[in-house]
Chain A
Amino acid sequence: MARAGAFRAISGDELVDILTTALPAMGEALWLVFQPQQLMYLVAGVLLGLSIGVLPGLGGIAGLSLVLPFMFGMEPVSGLALMVGLIAVIPTSDTFSSVLLGIPGSSSSQATVLDGFPLSRKGHAARALSAAFASSLYGGLLGALVLTGFIFVARPLILAFGLPEMLMITILGLSMVAILAGRVPLKGIVAAGLGLMAGTIGAAGAGGSLRMSTYEIPYLVDGLQLVIVGLGIYAIPEIVSLLRQDRSIARGGSLGEGWGQGVRDWWANKWLSTKCAAIGVVVGVIPGLGGSVVDWLAYGYAVQSSKNRENFGQGDIRGVIAPESSNNAKEGGGLVPTLIFGIPGSGSMAVFLGGLALLGLSPGPHMVRQDLDITYTIVWSLALANVVGAGLCILLSKQIAKLTTIRFTILAPYLFMLIAFAAFQSRQSLGDLAALVAIGLLGILLRRFDYSRPAFLIGFVLSNQAEAFANMANQIAGSRFRRGWEQGFEYIFTPLSIGLLALTVLSIVVGMRQAKNIRENIDAPTGSKRAPFIFLGCITAYLVVAWIDAFTITRMGDKIFPLTVGTATLLACFALLFQMRRLPETHEVFVDLESGGDDAKAPYGLWRTLSWFLGLLVMSGVFGLVIALALFFVGFFRVRGGFNWARSILLSAAGIAFILFLAWVLGRDFPPGLLQSYFNLPWPFT
């Protein structure tokens, strides 16, 4: 009944609504954004995002996780400006490392590497960068514009989205797995299923039954935290891989000429840029993991739609313009489900939602309908941050280029320190660090055997929602059916849910066709059958245990989801195991990055590199994080970096001083170890 009301409201009051509510709110928001204090926070966010984006491998999730502790008690608009500034600039600044180093600066500029890096090696780094910044700026503004429009249109429609529709939106998000699956579709299903199952660990949302956890280990009862899963699945594998290769990242650090040429290149390809921005917005709107797909889709589109393709991969400027236009546009798109329904559009949007909660804002229908000014503040901040970000990137590009000549061996320990500190903030327990290492190891193995990490993360991010929406929609439908069949069917089969179902089918079909353009790992060396076989065996074993564990739960509502997902994933595992028996060891099902390409040639072994991080964990358990970090730093710089004592100690002291300052400003503790349980030590050793 209320839903019919919502539909009536569109025809009658929409215009009035726009004139009386939306336009004043937009004006109000515009005024708010341009307050000096907000501008200051926005620029601070942009600078922070810029530094994080420049670092290889770190993107929105890591960046937002780092600023989250700052959020509480901030003025809502200031906090928003800081976060939005950070989100908006990452797809712009991550271009530096893609173009100059040939390493994706974050998951959303992987495709930029394909043509950006060759351009830079030919001495056209400046041209590639300026074309990328122009595209980023344009894409970002287009994304903000679309978001504005979406909010206009969606406002009167929002109450028509009931639980069945929300469930369909979530499933639409899961259908993105089809496109992410990579070379072997079954592996994508396994990765996504594993992500979904990882999301069910802990006390069930509805009835509180424990799944794959016990009260003896209280840490697991609350489930795995997104911040830790994000850092473990993305940041750690990248950092470990870079560290193993020990490149002194870029040579020389000069950008060459061609700033004007780059902008002219963008102008000549403005239609391509527009179309790719549109792709970015659409992919962003679909909840899931827009970031890591969107650049590949845009790149694939650029290749398919152009007549002369031979230059792609060897320095075609269009290969830079396409992904860069789309990855900034997707942030505007990603904010659509995040703000309107409170369903995160991507991993970083999920962290963003957490930040909004700290500011006392609850995104969702309520905010869009009642706090329209705040909603538009976010939109305007996004547009402004894109302009400021692109401007700063151009201004600072010479200095940033110099930064990239630093040896990664110097950067890596600092990154480990920041990641460990950020992870510890989620629950303030040593369990955070242990979970980080465990998930990091999973991330490394998923990467090594070419299982789609984005698919895993999509599954993880959407797991709770998929379960909650499915359970609740089922309960409500049951209650409706109790009143009468007609009421029940009326509730489930609305035009919206049927429309969304059609979209999902379309997304799967298009996704399967596009999947070949998405190459998370560019080379696909295969080795022996043994290692991939053992890894899949371990996954299968875990799933079997999780399935049996779910089966023993008595509450139907708490067991049905892990049981269903577990069954489907296990079937995929068995099918894959069967394939492995049948196929030759050169088949792509046996991709193993350790058997060829960059990883195999790396001078340092995987386990040796990882054991540094493991050592940090063990030492933290004994001495607490601060003392452990000091030992780790000195040891690492001395042994791995090969520096003399003076330099090692100086570099270590700088790192420790920085983290102490950060913790002091935030009023944070460090993880204590065994030592602290016997002796009462003063801060920061507590």
Chain B
Amino acid sequence: MTYFTARRVARSAMVLAASTAISTAAMAGGHGVDLSGETAEFVIPFSESGGSARWANFYAPLLNEALTGNPTVVVRYRPGAGSTEGANWFQQQTTDDGTLVFGTSGSTQFPYLLGDQRVRYEYQDWQPVLASGTGGVVYLPPELGARFDGDFDDLQDEIFLYGSQGATTLDLVPLLAFEMLGLDVDAVFGIEGRGDGRLMFERGEANIDYQTSAAYIQSVQPLVDQGLAVPAFTYGSLDADGNIVRDPTFPDLPSFREVCEATAGCETEGLAWDAWKAFFISGFAAQKMVYLPGSASADVVATYTNAFEAIIARPDFAELAAAELGVYPQLTGEAARIASDQATNVTPEAREFVLNWLLEAYGISLN
């Protein structure tokens, strides 16, 4: 039993050294609400398997300790229709006493941004109290990696093959990045998780792939060490001003911004860039967020904000988070609000651009 845990910690220790957990100052205003004797429900619109369940179950016991009055915190699952069913349900809730919080992910954000007809929820009605980020690394096989020198100019005549979960999922971010870099990428749709994409890469069927940071460190780093894969770039990370900078988890790898600037024909301004950035922020920089219903009072919001801040300030938080979530920025208070706004707002032009691109490149229409 201890063996597995020890190994996980050891794996994440590398990340720990290279990264910093970001925490912001306490939000002003509001008295705490005492929740003693209550049961707070932490609802996620996903099933018990998968990353969101892991994330929610990581925070639930910590919330129990940190919230005033130590309420029982239970995680409830409301999966369905790619998480839109649960989000539609949350939209109708009017709980105002702090006994209900809702956790969303990139899979909830993207249908909202793209105007999927299943969406009957409105992020602007909800009040964010936590935003958890993640990153991603794009990598190549060694023979293509040798031809990559910080830009993709020498790889324009190559035919790439990428295993994808679908163009309207989080894969929208890498697919759009490839498009902007001018790469000739055949996307093979239908895989069920990024792990399947990595396997296609390992079998030599795919020759470009990406993994989120935690999965990259766990599964691709060994391949890199054995000379079977070469990292190309990270999507980057969002600084406090909303600029894309190098991912602190991988300080030696260029960000997509750098690679795009170096590659002929790829622009870091304009419609395509704005669209990519908007969807990157929604899908990665603020991938998972905790919301209170719009009906919750300012006091309740302050209670949860304080609780999450207390959790992140715990001396053992970095270690706990490393073992369960990997080390990503955890934003609270005003920072969470900014992250939430950025993750759930795209300009109509950016949205139009992506919808047109989906239709032209993949024949996908969301209407």
* Residues on A facing B (Cβ under 8 Å): 1-3, 5-6, 28, 32, 35, 37-38, 68-69, 71-73, 75-78, 159-163, 203, 205-208, 215, 218-219, 221-222, 354, 357-358, 360, 362, 364-366, 370, 373-374, 427-429, 467-468, 471-472, 475-476, 478-479, 482-483, 491, 554-555, 557, 667, 669
Q: Are B222 and A370 in contact, CB atoms less than 8 angstroms apart?
A: yes
Q: Are B117 and A215 in contact, CB atoms less than 8 angstroms apart?
A: yes
Which of B183-191, B234-242, B298-306, B346-354 lines the interface with chain A?
A: B183-191
Expressed in whole angstroms, the Cα–Cα distance for A221 and B118 within the complex equals 10
The minimal Cβ–Cβ distance linking B343 to chain A, given in whole angstroms, is: 22
Q: What A residues does B37 contact at CB under 8 A?
A: none
Q: Are A72 and B166 in contact, CB atoms less than 8 angstroms apart?
A: no
**Is residue B147 within 8 Å, beta carbon to beta carbon, of the partner chain?**
no
Of residues 28 through 72 on chain B, the ones whose CB sits less than 8 Å from some CB of chain A are 48-50, 53-54, 57
Q: Are B4 and A364 in contact, CB atoms less than 8 angstroms apart?
A: no
* Residues on B facing A (Cβ under 8 Å): 1, 3-4, 48-50, 53-54, 57, 74-82, 84-85, 88, 117-118, 141, 159, 161, 163, 166, 168, 186, 188-193, 195, 198-200, 202-205, 219, 222, 362-364
- In the complex, which of the residues B77, B80, B161, B191 contacts A218, with contact meaning CB atoms closer than 8 Å? B80
Q: Are A472 and B166 in contact, CB atoms less than 8 angstroms apart?
A: no
Q: Are B204 and A3 in contact, CB atoms less than 8 angstroms apart?
A: yes
Q: What B residues does A491 contact at CB under 8 A?
A: 205
- In the complex, which of the residues A2, A71, A203 contacts B202, with contact meaning CB atoms closer than 8 Å? A2
A554 in contact with B363 given A205-B190, A207-B166, A428-B78 (CB within 8 Å): yes
Closest 6 CB pairs of A and B: A2-B204, A357-B49, A206-B190, A206-B189, A479-B186, A475-B188
Please name 23 pairs of A and B residues whose Cβ atoms are closer than 8 Å in the assembled complex, sorted by A: A2-B202, A5-B204, A32-B1, A38-B1, A72-B48, A159-B203, A203-B82, A208-B166, A208-B364, A215-B81, A215-B118, A218-B80, A358-B53, A360-B54, A366-B219, A370-B222, A374-B4, A468-B190, A472-B163, A472-B188, A478-B186, A554-B363, A557-B190
Q: What A residues does B74 contact at CB under 8 A?
A: 667
Beyond A75-B1, A365-B202, 6 additional pairs, beta carbon < 8 A: A162-B205, A163-B200, A206-B166, A374-B4, A428-B79, A476-B188
Q: Are A71 and B54 in contact, CB atoms less than 8 angstroms apart?
A: no
Q: Are B3 and A71 in contact, CB atoms less than 8 angstroms apart?
A: no
Q: What B residues does A69 contact at CB under 8 A?
A: 48
Q: Are B203 and A162 in contact, CB atoms less than 8 angstroms apart?
A: yes
Q: Are A205 and B49 in contact, CB atoms less than 8 angstroms apart?
A: no
Expressed in whole angstroms, the Cα–Cα distance for A1 and B142 within the complex equals 12
- In the complex, which of the residues A2, A203, A221, A475 contacts B189, with contact meaning CB atoms closer than 8 Å? A475
Chain A residue with the shortest CB-CB distance to B54: A360
A479 in contact with B219 given A2-B203, A468-B190, A471-B190 (CB within 8 Å): no
Q: Are A358 and B190 in contact, CB atoms less than 8 angstroms apart?
A: no
Expressed in whole angstroms, the Cα–Cα distance for A208 and B189 within the complex equals 10
The minimal Cβ–Cβ distance linking A23 to chain B, given in whole angstroms, is: 17
- In the complex, which of the residues A161, A222, A482 contacts B80, with contact meaning CB atoms closer than 8 Å? A222
The minimal Cβ–Cβ distance linking B163 to chain A, given in whole angstroms, is: 7
Q: Are A557 and B189 in contact, CB atoms less than 8 angstroms apart?
A: yes
Q: Are A75 and B161 in contact, CB atoms less than 8 angstroms apart?
A: no
A222 in contact with B190 given A2-B204, A3-B204, A366-B199 (CB within 8 Å): no
Q: Are A428 and B77 in contact, CB atoms less than 8 angstroms apart?
A: yes
Expressed in whole angstroms, the Cα–Cα distance for A358 and B52 within the complex equals 11
Q: What B residues does A471 contact at CB under 8 A?
A: 189-190
Q: What A residues does B3 contact at CB under 8 A?
A: 28, 32, 373
Q: What A residues does B192 contact at CB under 8 A?
A: 205, 468
Q: What A residues does B79 contact at CB under 8 A?
A: 222, 427-428
Q: What A residues does B163 contact at CB under 8 A?
A: 472
Q: What A residues does B4 contact at CB under 8 A?
A: 75-77, 374
- In the complex, which of the residues B81, B190, B195, B203 contacts A221, with contact meaning CB atoms closer than 8 Å? B81
Q: What A residues does B117 contact at CB under 8 A?
A: 215
A222 in contact with B81 given A207-B364, A479-B159, A669-B76 (CB within 8 Å): yes
Q: Are B118 and A357 in contact, CB atoms less than 8 angstroms apart?
A: no
A364 in contact with B195 given A206-B166, A221-B81, A667-B74 (CB within 8 Å): yes
Which residue, A205, A467, A479, has most C-beta atoms of chain B within 10 A?
Answer: A479
Which applies to chain A's interface (DSSP): helix, strand, loop or mixed? Answer: helix
Q: Are A219 and B1 in contact, CB atoms less than 8 angstroms apart?
A: no
Expressed in whole angstroms, the Cα–Cα distance for A208 and B159 within the complex equals 26
- In the complex, which of the residues B48, B191, B219 contacts A71, with contact meaning CB atoms closer than 8 Å? B48
Expressed in whole angstroms, the Cα–Cα distance for A37 and B2 within the complex equals 12
- In the complex, which of the residues A76, A222, A357, A365 contacts B199, with contact meaning CB atoms closer than 8 Å? A365
Expressed in whole angstroms, the Cα–Cα distance for A167 and B364 within the complex equals 26
Q: What B residues does A370 contact at CB under 8 A?
A: 219, 222
Q: What B residues does A221 contact at CB under 8 A?
A: 80-82, 118
Q: Are A37 and B159 in contact, CB atoms less than 8 angstroms apart?
A: no
The minimal Cβ–Cβ distance linking A658 to chain B, given in whole angstroms, is: 21
Chain B residue with the shortest CB-CB distance to A69: B48
Expressed in whole angstroms, the Cα–Cα distance for A221 and B202 within the complex equals 32
The minimal Cβ–Cβ distance linking A209 to chain B, given in whole angstroms, is: 9
Q: Are A35 and B1 in contact, CB atoms less than 8 angstroms apart?
A: yes
A364 in contact with B188 given A72-B57, A75-B1 (CB within 8 Å): no
Q: Are A364 and B363 in contact, CB atoms less than 8 angstroms apart?
A: no
Chain B residue with the shortest CB-CB distance to A365: B199
Expressed in whole angstroms, the Cα–Cα distance for A207 and B200 within the complex equals 19
Q: What B residues does A429 contact at CB under 8 A?
A: 80
Expressed in whole angstroms, the Cα–Cα distance for A37 and B191 within the complex equals 37
Chain B residue with the shortest CB-CB distance to A360: B54
Chain B residue with the shortest CB-CB distance to A355: B49
Q: Are B80 and A219 in contact, CB atoms less than 8 angstroms apart?
A: yes
Chain A residue with the shortest CB-CB distance to B190: A206
The minimal Cβ–Cβ distance linking A166 to chain B, given in whole angstroms, is: 10
Expressed in whole angstroms, the Cα–Cα distance for A326 and B348 within the complex equals 63
Q: Are A358 and B118 in contact, CB atoms less than 8 angstroms apart?
A: no
The minimal Cβ–Cβ distance linking B230 to chain A, given in whole angstroms, is: 14
Expressed in whole angstroms, the Cα–Cα distance for A585 and B39 within the complex equals 63
Which residue, B188, B198, B200, B364, has most C-beta atoms of chain A within 10 A?
Answer: B188
Q: Are B81 and A218 in contact, CB atoms less than 8 angstroms apart?
A: yes
Expressed in whole angstroms, the Cα–Cα distance for A72 and B60 within the complex equals 13
Expressed in whole angstroms, the Cα–Cα distance for A554 and B74 within the complex equals 43
Expressed in whole angstroms, the Cα–Cα distance for A499 and B225 within the complex equals 34
Expressed in whole angstroms, the Cα–Cα distance for A78 and B78 within the complex equals 26
Q: What A residues does B81 contact at CB under 8 A?
A: 203, 215, 218, 221-222
The minimal Cβ–Cβ distance linking B186 to chain A, given in whole angstroms, is: 4
Expressed in whole angstroms, the Cα–Cα distance for A354 and B200 within the complex equals 22
The minimal Cβ–Cβ distance linking B185 to chain A, given in whole angstroms, is: 10
Q: Are A476 and B80 in contact, CB atoms less than 8 angstroms apart?
A: no
Expressed in whole angstroms, the Cα–Cα distance for A478 and B84 within the complex equals 34
A479 in contact with B161 given A358-B49, A366-B195 (CB within 8 Å): yes
Expressed in whole angstroms, the Cα–Cα distance for A75 and B76 within the complex equals 20
Expressed in whole angstroms, the Cα–Cα distance for A372 and B286 within the complex equals 35
Expressed in whole angstroms, the Cα–Cα distance for A471 and B190 within the complex equals 8
Q: Are B1 and A78 in contact, CB atoms less than 8 angstroms apart?
A: yes
The minimal Cβ–Cβ distance linking A564 to chain B, given in whole angstroms, is: 16
- In the complex, which of the residues A2, A37, A555 contacts B363, with contact meaning CB atoms closer than 8 Å? A555
The minimal Cβ–Cβ distance linking A360 to chain B, given in whole angstroms, is: 7
Expressed in whole angstroms, the Cα–Cα distance for A1 and B195 within the complex equals 21
Q: What A residues does B77 contact at CB under 8 A?
A: 428
Chain B residue with the shortest CB-CB distance to A28: B3
Q: What B residues does A206 contact at CB under 8 A?
A: 166, 189-190
Q: Are A362 and B80 in contact, CB atoms less than 8 angstroms apart?
A: no
Q: What B residues does A35 contact at CB under 8 A?
A: 1
Q: Are A482 and B190 in contact, CB atoms less than 8 angstroms apart?
A: no
Expressed in whole angstroms, the Cα–Cα distance for A215 and B190 within the complex equals 21
The minimal Cβ–Cβ distance linking B221 to chain A, given in whole angstroms, is: 12
Chain A residue with the shortest CB-CB distance to B202: A159
Expressed in whole angstroms, the Cα–Cα distance for A219 and B89 within the complex equals 13
